[in-house]
Structure formats: C-alpha cells, structure tokens
Chain A
Amino acid sequence: MLAAARSFALIGVEAREVQVEVHVGPGLPAFSLVGLPDAAVRESRERVRAALVNSGFKFPQQRITANLAPADLRKAGPSFDLAIAAALLAASEQLEPRRLERLALAGELALDGSIRPVPGTLAMAEAAGRRGSEAIAVPSANAPEAMLAEGARVIPLERLAELASLGTDQEPEPPPAPGWGPNNARPAGPDLADLRGQPYLRYALEVAAAGGHSVLIVGPPGAGKSLAARRLPSILPSPSRSEALEVLRIASASGRSPRLGLPAARPFRAPHHTISTAGLVGGGSPPRPGEVTLAHRGVLFLDELGEFSREALEALRQPLEEGRVTIVRARHAIELPCRFMLIAASNPCPCGRGEESGECECQPASVRRYRAKLSGALADRIDIAISVERPTAEQMAAAPATDSASVRERVVAARELQERRMGPGRCNAEIGLAELRRVCRLGATAKPLLADGHATLGLSGRGHDRVLRLSRTIADLDGSERVSDDHVAKALTLRRRGPR
C-alpha cells in the first residue's frame, strides 16, 4: 500500500515542502530510503523502526520504500522522522490515510517513541500555512514557537503514540500563544551607567543607536572599547513584532532557543577574531547561517578588528551593503537576511600601545598592514569613528552618568521620526543615494558649512553623504526636521575619516 505525508526541509532559514511517500509491498523485509538523504536522514530508518515498536505499533515485515520528494533537494537532519513514521503507519494500515491529508509533520524520534525538538519549526509552521495545510504536528517543545505562525493549527506531540489521536477529540490541544508586548521601558543587557567618564564615547553610541550607524572605536587596551560596545543593545529600541519574528525564525533555524517565545531584545553577536569566513557570513554544507545572519536586526561586534583575517573582512562587504548574504551551491543559491548594526573596536597598532605612548614596539610596515585592514573592506560602510583614551582615575571614581533607560528614550524618539519619514523598520543609516537629498534637508546656515567642509577638509563624495546621513540622525535626536549648522558640525567631527 502507498501513503504520503507532508514535511519540510530547512534551506538556510526558509522551509521548503517535502513530500514523504512510503510504499509497503511484498518481498523480503527491507527498509530503503531514497530521495537524496544525508546520513542523519538515512539513519532515520533505525529510529523509526525502534520508535514504532516501542510505541505499541507494528513494524511491517515487508519491503518498505520511503521516498522524499522533490528528489533533487538535498535533505538533511532528523526532522523527517515523524513524517516517515506517520506515512509508514498509514501505508501499513495502522493509521487512516485521510488523517494525514492537509496535515504537515516535523519532529525527531527517540527510540522510546518520544518526540524531540527540531530546528526551524517556526519557518515550517509558516510554510505549512502558506502551502494550505490545515494543521502541523510539531514536537511539543517547539509548539510555542510554532504558535507564532499564522495559518496552520498547531498540534503539539509528546510521543509517537499520540498520532493515533489525530483528528479525534483526544488530539492534543495547542498551547497558548506566547505573549508579545513591545517593552521599550526595559533595556536589555548591561547598562550604560557602567561607563565612567568618556562623555563623547557615550554621545557617539547614542547617535549610532539613533540612526543605526556602524561605529569604529579605536583606542588602547583598557580604554573601555568592548565595555561600551556591549552596552549598545541596552540603548536600542525593542524589535517590532515582525522584526522579532525574523530574529526568532533565524534563531530557531540555527537550532538556538527553540523554547523561547518572541525575543524582547535585539541579538548581540561578538564572534572571536579567529572565526572563519564561513562562520562569519554563513556557508558550509548544508549552508548554515553565519554570525552576520545571527545578528540580523541586532548588533554584530567585531572586537580587535585588525586581527580578523582579511578574507573574512572582505566577505562582509556584500552583507553590509545589501543586508543579505547569498550562498551559492551547485544546485541552488540560498539567501539569508543580515541587516545588522556593526560595531568594531581596534587597538591603534598591533601591540596596542599606540605610537603616541612612546612605548610602541611595532614595525612601521606592520602598523601599516594593521591600519589597512581598518580602512579596507569595511570602511565604506562605517559611518562613525571615534578615538578613545583610558579614563583617568578621577573619571573612574566619578559618579555614574545617566543610565541606558534615559538614553534609550531619546533613541526611540529619534527612530520614530525616521520610521515616520521612511517607513517601518528603516533608519538613517540605510538612506539611499536617491533619497538623500529629499530626506536630509539642510537649513540655510548648514549648507555653507558643509560646502566649507568639502573645500577645506577634502570630503569625498562618500564622505559628504556620510555627513548628511549623520547630521540627519543628530537632528532627529534634537527632534528637529531641519538640519542646522550645529548638526552638520557634530556630524563632521563624528564621521569616519578616510586615510590620509
């Protein structure tokens, strides 16, 4: 007999529908699995056999063929177990085939018949709704996440035996959908109040957060570079519901936090500088999201920027410019979202002490190589650069300055202005060339100042646009629609300067 069940393969962070067909026919007892399965999928045969037997079902002593269609799509991971088991039950007349109609299934089987969580449930539940499935059966641990998708009813399963209850009144109830309320009152993570002294560094972070601008902080060790960077998420606005869904979809697809509901904070990723290119931008086989994608809608912090491999930094170019990564494989190309804010920190030279200190032991050539990395691939996309010094003992002892909550209020207000101007989820860092003139209107006194900057400071075309974007953000922080000369002046000081 022949039966089919629906499941999903995870390609990057998207779910692609896979039809699981099982044929049980006469012949020597055998169980073969076809349709480009990887090792984990092939081993599914053993899990299905044991799980069926241990759940009180019979494993048919006949010739069993399972096919995963489309056959040219490479299937990976154990999430097809449940669908294979269900189709096998239907094909061996232990389950009514019509119960599998308009139902999708995803889950990994344990040998005792219980169902383990799988990555990507949110994307699968969304795909199920889009593809016209009425319901999707998922591991109960993944159910809260699946409930966030619209369209398909979620059936949380603890054990394989519960398949028998599908379509009856014993069917497990879906759990309550996880709540979601944007909570801008509570900043996430460590607080900006820990940053002593360094008023300008705080100011630069505030402007960066308000416009989503990328930042480079240069200074000797102990100047509070990473301390500051790690406090950036605490002054960013909470993600909107749709942004939070994107973040969760990625986290889920990469096998992180499957039990959590919608994240209230933006992701913060700080990969070590020894990271490979594939680890940073995504890759491998099957392709997995890299750090840039995990930082989607959040912050990517690259500490010791000069120590990252040149190749890895070069690879950041496309993600930074386009907000997505394309990974091309022989059979297909996958696209991963990666709209993140970059914050990078670096020592002034390889030894970290800096030429100024008089103790620097670096060779001029090695300093040049180091600096070339800072001004190389990423440079075009970094708007703000600031130089920091070690705070003095006096500053360390000073009373803490304002905390994240008050800074965040101003940031949220500025972002609201930007969204009103440009549409939801957009910020000044993304202003395109076409919009620049319209969005960044200069006041009467600001124009000559910028022209002056052009003539005296040798601003390049790119530098000019960077100043326009930054001054727009600074004006937004002031709640001003017009960009004044003071706004431009502040932007001129904050902007990242080209190499001499």
Chain B
Amino acid sequence: MNDRAPVWELGQGERGYPRSLLHLGDDAPGQLFGCGDRELVGGLAMDHTVTIVGSRRPSSYGLRVAEELGRVLAGAGLVVVSGMARGIDAAAHRGALAGGGPTIAVLGGGPDVVYPASERRLYSDILRAGAAISEAPPGRRPESWSFPVRNRIMAALGAMTVVVEAAQPSGSLITARKALELGRGVGAVPGPVTSRVSEGANGLIADGAPPIRDAQDVLDRLLGVGMTEAGRRGPALETSLARVAELVELGSRSCDGLATASGMAPGEAAVALARLELLGYVSVDADGRYARTALLPPD
C-alpha cells in the first residue's frame, strides 16, 4: 500500500469538474479526488457514459453478462462507470478494459485506497486505462455508510444506469433510484424469476425499466437505434494491416488461423497482430485468442 498512485483534485466550479455531477444540486461533492487519467474525467460527456452496477455475489450468468456489456460498450466508445466492488462491478470494469475502452471506478474510500484489496490488479489496470475517483480525501478508508453515498455519484455520471443482478434491497437499487430521481435512464438485465440475486433487477423491469438483453439495447437508448459506436477512430492502417484486422473480424481468432487464412508466413502474422494490438485494433485474452475491438479505422 506504500506505492500509492499520485492523487489529483478537482473542486466544484473548477475546469474539468464533471458537469453531470452538478445535477446533484446541493448534494454535488464539493471536491473530487482522483487517480489515473485526469483528462478522461475532465472530458467526460454524460451522454457517452454508462454506469453498470450489480450484486457483490452474482451468479456466473450475471458475471458473464456484466463483462460482455462492459466489453461491447467500451468498445463502442462509451466510458463505463462502476464501483469496483467484487462481483458485477469488477466484471464490468474488466469487460471495459478488455474492450479497449476507458473505465472509471467510483470508490467509497480515498481514490488511492484499493477496496476491496483483492481487486488490486484490477485497480492498477483501471488506472492505466482510466481513472479511480472519490469524494473522500486520499488515504481515507471506506466506511459502511460511504458506499450508499458514493452511489449517487455513479448515478449522476452516467446517462444510463444498468443494473445487472441485484437483490432486494441492495446498494445497486439505491443507485438506480438515485438515477431515476436525477432523470437518468435506468435499465435492468432480466434474470431467472427463481433467482434471489435477480429479484431487484426483475423488480425494476416490472416497474417499467427497459430490459437490457445486450449492449445494443443500451446503445439504442444512448446513441440512437441501430448505432453501434460512439465514433472512436484509430490511427490509419497500412493495407496489409487493414486486411489482417478484417480477417480477425471475420473469425481468425488465433495466430495459426490468421496465418492459414491469409497465407502469410507465421512470423509476419505475428508481427501484424502485435502491431494491431499496440494500435488498439485487436485485443487478446490470456490464451492468446484475438478479437477485433470496436475501434474504427479513419475515413
């Protein structure tokens, strides 16, 4: 804990203080402390920001959905906000990172205090590709009351709050209620009616929240029906690299598959994939399986 990340500070009214937080009125945090990418927080556009929250004890179904939502939404150019709690929150962050997009963790303690400590690796990944913010000053340990309070920040930051599995009652539902109060969109991922952890989410749907079946349901609401990305474009690609990126998109998920499909020498295929990965056009999982990110080549 002694290698803490440097902390920056944003006062209300200062340039870079997220405008969406001002909607909280008297409740808006006076000071915002953060670690990681300050520009990201400063440049936050509400309509390109989505908040994903959910249970700390999810089912594997919930984890999978949260991660997939995070991945596709981040890939589409949205900023994914969550609370870095164990379970759904962490999965959403992880997905966002895998999608190659920035993600913001709103913490209950100081922005440099990793809680839960087991998510240390995730925390450092988040700092690398995004930011951790909090209204608590650096070094402050989170208290049990600080979580419901920080939930209002998460609700305010996103144009939409998506609930993936939440029990009844739960912190996630507090976030959803706050989002509704602020006039933000609230969506919920439907779960089995027999599942305790889906009671809250199913309840929201019963009360009229739109069911979120996949990331497209979110994109339809935030960007307009049928829109698949917020227009993030990457650097220009040489013809050969563009072709490799296309082959990956068409299903060449391993280096072997790519070499076979393209007829390139395996060494060349490896070079192309490494370059595309560095440029952000493809991402790799721990097994070395490649996927195309949502980054578009320039016009």
Contacts and interface: CB of A to CB of B under 8 A. Distances in A.
Interface of A: 197-204, 218, 348, 356, 363-364, 371, 375, 385-389, 395, 449, 452-453, 456-458, 474, 486, 488-490, 492-494, 497-500
A452 B278 CA distance: 7
Which 8 pairs show the lowest CB-CB distances between chains A and B? A203-B266, A489-B274, A493-B270, A492-B274, A200-B256, A387-B288, A200-B266, A489-B271
Contacts of A474: 267
Given A389-B256, A453-B278, A200 B63 contact: no
A458 B125 contact: yes
Contacts of B254: 200, 386-389
B288 A490 contact: no
B259 A387 contact: no
A348 to B, nearest CB: 6
A490 B270 contact: yes
Contacts of A498: 286
Given A490-B271, A493-B274, A199 B94 contact: no
Given A203-B270, A388-B254, A489 B275 contact: yes
A199 B256 contact: yes
B72 to A, nearest CB: 17
Given A199-B260, A364-B60, A493-B271, 15 more contacts: A198-B256, A199-B259, A199-B265, A200-B258, A204-B266, A218-B288, A371-B286, A388-B254, A389-B253, A389-B256, A449-B278, A493-B255, A497-B284, A497-B286, A500-B98
A464 to B, nearest CB: 14
Contacts of A371: 286
Interface string B28-61: 0000000000000000000000000000000010
Contact of A203 (B97, B267, B275, B287): B267
A438 B223 CA distance: 53
| Secondary structure dominating the interface of A | helix
B287 A494 contact: no
Contacts of A493: 255, 270-271, 273-274, 277, 288
A199 B265 CA distance: 8
B237 to A, nearest CB: 15
Nearest to A488: B274
B256 A486 contact: no
A199 B266 contact: yes
Interface of B: 60, 63, 94, 97-98, 125, 128, 253-260, 265-267, 269-271, 273-275, 277-278, 280, 284-289
24 contacts: A199-B256, A199-B259, A199-B260, A200-B254, A200-B256, A200-B258, A385-B287, A386-B255, A387-B255, A387-B287, A389-B254, A389-B256, A452-B278, A456-B278, A458-B125, A458-B128, A488-B274, A490-B270, A490-B274, A492-B278, A493-B270, A493-B271, A494-B270, A500-B286
Contacts of A497: 284, 286, 288
Contacts of A490: 267, 270-271, 274
A137 B269 CA distance: 60
A280 to B, nearest CB: 25
Given A203-B266, A490-B271, A492-B274, A364 B63 contact: yes
A499 B260 contact: no
B120 to A, nearest CB: 13
Nearest to B279: A456
A474 B266 CA distance: 13
A458 B286 CA distance: 13
B273 A197 contact: no
Nearest to A458: B128
A96 to B, nearest CB: 71
A327 B4 CA distance: 41
Contacts of B258: 200
A326 B254 CA distance: 40
A389 B265 contact: no
Nearest to A398: B260
Interface centre among A364, A375, A493 (most CB of B within 10 A): A493
B280 A456 contact: yes
Nearest to A492: B274
A197 B271 contact: no
A200 B255 contact: yes
Contacts of B286: 371, 375, 497-500
Contacts of A198: 256
Given A218-B288, A389-B257, A500-B286, A200 B278 contact: no
A371 B286 CA distance: 10
A269 B144 CA distance: 56
Nearest to A449: B278
B35 to A, nearest CB: 16
A457 B270 contact: no
B229 to A, nearest CB: 20
A81 to B, nearest CB: 56
Contacts of A388: 254, 256
Contacts of B97: 500
Contacts of B274: 453, 488-490, 492-493
Contact of B94 (A204, A385, A500): A500
A497 B97 CA distance: 15
Nearest to A486: B271
A457 B278 contact: yes
Contacts of B265: 199, 203
A363 B59 CA distance: 11
Nearest to A500: B286
Contacts of B287: 218, 348, 385, 387
Given A486-B271, A493-B270, A386 B288 contact: yes
A371 B287 CA distance: 10
A198 B255 CA distance: 9
B270 A489 contact: yes
Contacts of B63: 364
Contacts of A452: 278
Contacts of B271: 486, 489-490, 493
A453 B266 CA distance: 20
Contacts of A203: 265-267, 270
Contacts of A201: 256
Contacts of B275: 489
Contacts of A348: 287
